[in-house]
Structure 1
Amino acid sequence: MTDFARLQSKFTTLRSNKAFELFVVIVIISSALLVGAKTYELSPLAVTMVVWLDRLITVFFLIEISIRFLGEENKKDFFKNPWNIFDTLIVTISLIPIDNTDMALVARLVRVFRVLRMVSVIPELRLLLNSLIKAMPQLGYVILLMFIIFYIYAAIGSTLFEDINPELWGDITISLLTLFRVMTFEDWTDVMYETMTVYKLSWIYYLTFIFFTAFAFLNMVIGIVVNVLDEEHAKVRKQAAIDAHEPTITDLQQQLEEIKLLLKQQTK
């Protein structure tokens, strides 16, 4: 084994080490705390310490991404993973100096986004985000239907309640914002009681709207996300079984069919 191969093997072992992953998470959290600390009025000494800690964290991220890259047997496979590309971009842009440059604002914003590296480091967070992304096509239809309901109720509300309070029901766009306030239960009873002084049965308008949006559609969204999350968990378990060379349910079913076929042949 060559020296490079031994070094690559050490890097591979290190990047999969749980203690190393935990340390990376701690550094990411520290990076997030530094971003928050910069929003306060700090003494000159504290500012200097924050700047040096930020530089140390940037250097550590550069070393960490290098270890992950060098520990990959096939370097092309490293960039096939979108999370590796995301981490590389974040680390690369973090190297931009943040003082006295035109890119200072961009560099500061990227340092905020370094907190998102928690998602790429923790598999459970990646699974949640991937499930949410895969659920988006199905969620799109629910959102479209919800918008139709919003639009219908906004048109009705603008027509009926415009004279009562033009600030809330003056046109359809303002009515949409008012209905969003109702859906999120932000002092919605004040809006309802105001219209009930003129239309005593207007409570039906609000209660039916809340039923459709806050209850029915919200449960549909939760159901879709949970269903996709269960499918992703099943895929992960299946892949883990394949990697561990453990028989899956499909394999057991195939083996059972083969045994049944052999028994039938022996019976004949």
Structure 2
Amino acid sequence: MYDSIKSKLNNLKNNKIFELLVVSVIIISALEIGAKTFELPETAISLTSILDAFITIFFLFELTVRFVADEDKRNFFRKGWNIFDTLVVVVSLIPIEDSEMALLARLVRVFRVLRMVSVVPELRVLINSLIKALPQLGYVVLLMFIIFYIYAAIGSFLFSDINSFLWGDIAISMLTLFRVMTFEDWTDIQYETMEVYPFSWIFYMSFIFFTAFAFLNMVIGIVVNVMEEEHQAAREKKEPSLSELQQELKEIKAVLSELQKK
């Protein structure tokens, strides 16, 4: 009985129509959350409440299907995405009306949109790639911070008398340099200092080269490299290994030899 139910739920979990239905419900959930940010009539508020209850029940059903159909239930809650989905569903079950947890429950409902990541494998690969790239990115970020700190100190010493609002201290200077790195009206800042220091353009050009070009390209290179490794690992999981193929060939030969004997 249990094996029959498990087999049916496993077929349901792997069904493409069911996967599309889950994605559709997540999209509807996102639209429903966005609709609640507007002033709605009483009829629409009642409709969103009913829709919210349906979405919560559907997510609970979908999580139950995945749990029952999983072959390794002991490690089901050791997977990060399963823990995230479970927390979102459990908190969504908390009554939010006239409750001290109302704000928390509403905020957690916003994160239901992130369930799209756990449902779509390609999005999981992207997130996993970013997470695995963080240790390598940490050194790049540290080096970028050092460059920011040095240039901010120089800028504060040289340009604080020109514009104390932008270069008053090292903290404000770092914010100004972030504006320069993102190219947000940075030429206005440059021309203002060039009126006093004509060669100050060297300061800006060298800073942009180090940050916007060199370091950002390093970040992109690290993320792309890790992403390629994740895609390769995913392909290896899907493709049968050499040992598995050899085992299948042995089984086929054994069956053929048995048929020949008969």
Give the structure-1-normalised TM-score.
0.89
Choose from 171, 174, 179 the match for 1:173.
171
> What are the residue-to-residue correspondences of 1:98-137 with 2, within 5 Å?
98-137=96-135
1:65 is aligned to: 63
1:199 is aligned to: 197
CA spacing shift, 1:25–1:77, aligned 2, 3 Å: same
Deviation at 1:163, TM superposition (A): 0.2
Which whole-Å CA distance do the structure 2 matches of 1:86 and 1:105 have between them? 19
2:250 is aligned to: none
Q: Which amino acid aligns with 1:217?
A: F
> What are the residue-to-residue correspondences of 1:184-195 with 2, within 5 Å?
184-195=182-193
Choose from 46, 49, 60 the match for 1:48.
46
Q: Which amino acid aligns with 2:80?
A: P
SS at match of 1:228: helix
SS at match of 1:97: coil
Choose from 19, 30, 33 the match for 2:31.
33
> What are the residue-to-residue correspondences of 1:113-262 with 2, within 5 Å?
113-242=111-240
Deviation at 1:194, TM superposition (A): 0.6
Which whole-Å CA distance do the structure 2 matches of 1:18 and 1:138 have between them? 37
Which whole-Å CA distance do the structure 2 matches of 1:140 and 1:39 have between them? 37
SS at match of 2:183: coil
Which whole-Å CA distance do the structure 1 matches of 2:163 and 2:238 have between them? 60
Which whole-Å CA distance do the structure 1 matches of 2:166 and 2:73 have between them? 58
**Which string of whole-angstrom CA distances, capped at 9 and with x for unpartnered residues, describes residues 193-239 of structure 1?**
11111001111110110010000001000000000111111111111
Percent identity, aligned pairs only?
65
Which whole-Å CA distance do the structure 1 matches of 2:179 and 2:161 have between them? 19
**Which string of whole-angstrom CA distances, capped at 9 and with x for unpartnered residues, describes residues 157-194 of structure 1?**
00000000000000000000000000001110111111
Which whole-Å CA distance do the structure 1 matches of 2:120 and 2:227 have between them? 16
Which whole-Å CA distance do the structure 2 matches of 1:123 and 1:40 have between them? 33
* Deviates further, 179-188 or 236-245: 236-245
CA spacing shift, 1:245–1:104, aligned 2, 3 Å: farther
Q: Which amino acid aligns with 1:74?
A: D
CA spacing shift, 1:214–1:38, aligned 2, 3 Å: same
2:90 is aligned to: 92
SS at match of 2:239: helix
SS at match of 2:99: coil
Deviation at 1:16, TM superposition (A): 1.1
* Deviates further, 81-90 or 105-114: 81-90
CA spacing shift, 1:104–1:243, aligned 2, 3 Å: farther
Deviation at 1:246, TM superposition (A): 6.9
Choose from 18, 21, 25 the match for 1:20.
18
1:258 is aligned to: none
Deviation at 1:242, TM superposition (A): 2.7
Which whole-Å CA distance do the structure 1 matches of 2:201 and 2:37 have between them? 45
Which whole-Å CA distance do the structure 1 matches of 2:241 and 2:7 have between them? 19
RMSD: 1.5
Q: Which amino acid aligns with 1:117?
A: R
Which whole-Å CA distance do the structure 1 matches of 2:68 and 2:241 have between them? 22
1:11 is aligned to: 9
For structure 1, the residue ranges without an aligned partner over 5 or more in a row are 253-268
